[in-house]
Amino acid sequence: MSKIDEIAQVIETGKLKIIEPLVTEALGEGLDPLEILNEGMIKAMGIVGEKFQKSEIFVPEMLVAAKTMKKGVEILKPKLAAGATTSFGKCIIGTVHGDLHDIGKNLVSLMIESAGFAVLDLGVDVTTDAFIAAIKSNPDTKIVALSALLTTTMPAMKDTAAAILDLRSAASGLSGFKLVVGGAPITEEFARQIGADGYTTDAASAAVLAKKLAG
């Protein structure tokens, strides 16, 4: 079994104690951190999701897999965040109200930060009011990024986006930011419907998009 497959299996089965030495070992062997992330970790979470859907595993197993992935990402973090030299301004990011998924949001945050933004991460289950308050107290924000992982929280994303866009079009002096959205159930079409300025499918392309929109 390849080291990357081994990492995937350790995440899938939630072996929290093994992930740290295993990822360190993989990096020591010169494996590409992005390949470890995409082909090992993210792939494993996809399998975890499928197993949950088929009722082969339940929430506790999904949770321990998530914890294992988070620990693995911690080891990868310094390698993924290359350290940007340009400054693109501020980005506010959060997972919308009712949604507790944050692994993808954290990766997007990490990539956007390493692309040269100062990131204000509001966390998970973020209400519309909390997004609005953050924008008001950070008038120099260039990007507002919303994440949603559940079809049931897509309406919350829509409502939050509407309030944010209202704030932007009001004569509030807060018109200098772009709104980007993402997360597994989000599509280009949904993003357009709710008036977002941008949408992408993964963390690396989210950083490219943020730079393009802020530039």
* Count of residues that bind ligand B12 according to CB under 6 A: 38
> Would you say 18 or 104 has its CB closer to ligand B12?
104
Residue 166 has, within 13 A of its CA and on its CB side, a CA count of 10
* In the complex, minimum distance from the CB of residue 199 to ligand B12, in angstroms, rounded to a whole number: 6
Q: Per CB under 6 A, which of residues 59..78 are in contact with ligand B12? A: 59, 62-63, 66
> Would you say 72 or 183 has its CB closer to ligand B12?
183
Tallying the residues shown for the chain, one arrives at 215
Answer yes or no whether residue 164 interacts with ligand B12 by CB under 6 A: no
Q: Which of 90, 97, 105, 168 binds ligand B12 (CB under 6 A)?
A: 105
* In the complex, minimum distance from the CB of residue 76 to ligand B12, in angstroms, rounded to a whole number: 12
> Would you say 40 or 104 has its CB closer to ligand B12?
104
Residue 211 has, within 13 A of its CA and on its CB side, a CA count of 16
Q: From 84-92, 101-109, 134-142, 166-174, give the range in contact with ligand B12 by CB under 6 A.
A: 101-109
Distance from C-alpha of 18 to C-alpha of 14, rounded to nearest angstrom: 9
> Would you say 28 or 209 has its CB closer to ligand B12?
209
Q: Per CB under 6 A, which of residues 191..210 are in contact with ligand B12? A: 200, 202-203, 206
> Would you say 36 or 149 has its CB closer to ligand B12?
149
> Would you say 22 or 207 has its CB closer to ligand B12?
207
Which residues of this protein are in contact with ligand B12, per CB under 6 A?
A: 42, 45-46, 48-49, 52-53, 59, 62-63, 66, 98-105, 107-108, 145-147, 149-152, 180-185, 200, 202-203, 206
